[in-house]
C-alpha cells in the first residue's frame, strides 16, 4: 500500500506496475484531472493544499477500510498539492483485485469517500482573476 501527497506530476504507469500481481485479474486506475470548464465557468488552474499529516492519515484509513471490504491485493493513492493546470492529474487511485466488479466498486467508493472526508482544499482560479477556495 502506498499513500502519498506530492507536488510532482503523478506517474500513473508506475502505479499500475506496482499494483500488478499474479493473483489478480483486474487493475483499476482512476485519474482525477483538472477540467477547463465547469458549468459555464472557465478554470485557469486549481491550487490544492492540505494539512499533510491529517490528510495522509485519512487516506490511509480509507485504503485500509477498502481492503477490509474488498479483496484488494495492492492499492496506491496519490494526490497532488500545489497549482495544477487543466488536463493535468490531481489524484490517482490504482488498485488490484481478483475480479473487475470488486475493483470498480472499491475504486468508486474510495474516491467518493476521499471527496467527503479528506482535508484537502482546492482553490479555483478563473480568467477574471477570481479565486475561490472549496472545502471538503
Give CA torsion, residues 39, 40, 41, 42, to 10 deg.
100
Domain encompassing residue 112: 2-134
**Number of compact structural domains in the chain:** 1
**Model pTM score:** 0.94
pLDDT in tens, 44-87: 999 999 999 999 999 999 999 999 999 999 999 999 999 999 99
CA atoms of 79 and 58, how far apart (whole Å)? 12
The CATH number linked to 97 is 3.90.1170.40
| 132 pLDDT above the threshold of 90 | no
Query: Quick one: pLDDT band at residue 101, thresholds 50, 70, 90?
Result: very high
Cβ atoms of residues 85 and 33 within 8 Å: no
Q: Which of 80, 72, 59 is nearest to 7 (CA)?
A: 80
Amino acid at each position: 500500500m502506498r499513500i502519498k501527497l506530492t507536488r510532482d506530476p503523478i506517474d500513473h504507469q508506475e502505479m499500475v506496475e506496482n499494483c500488478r500481481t499474479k493473483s489478480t485479474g483486474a487493475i483499476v486506475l482512476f485519474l482525477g484531472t483538472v477540467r477547463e470548464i465547469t458549468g459555464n465557468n472557465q478554470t485557469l488552474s486549481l491550487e490544492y493544499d492540505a494539512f499533510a499529516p491529517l490528510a495522509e492519515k485519512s487516506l490511509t484509513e480509507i485504503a485500509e477500510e477498502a481492503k477490509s471490504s474488498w479483496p484488494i491485493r495492492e492499492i496506491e493513492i496519490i494526490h497532488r498539492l500545489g497549482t495544477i493546470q487543466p488536463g493535468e492529474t490531481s489524484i490517482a487511485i490504482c488498485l488490484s483485485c481478483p475480479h473487475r466488479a470488486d475493483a470498480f466498486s472499491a475504486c468508486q467508493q474510495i474516491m467518493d469517500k476521499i471527496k467527503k472526508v479528506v482535508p484537502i482544499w482546492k482553490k479555483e482560479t478563473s480568467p477574471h482573476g477570481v479565486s475561490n477556495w472549496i472545502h471538503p
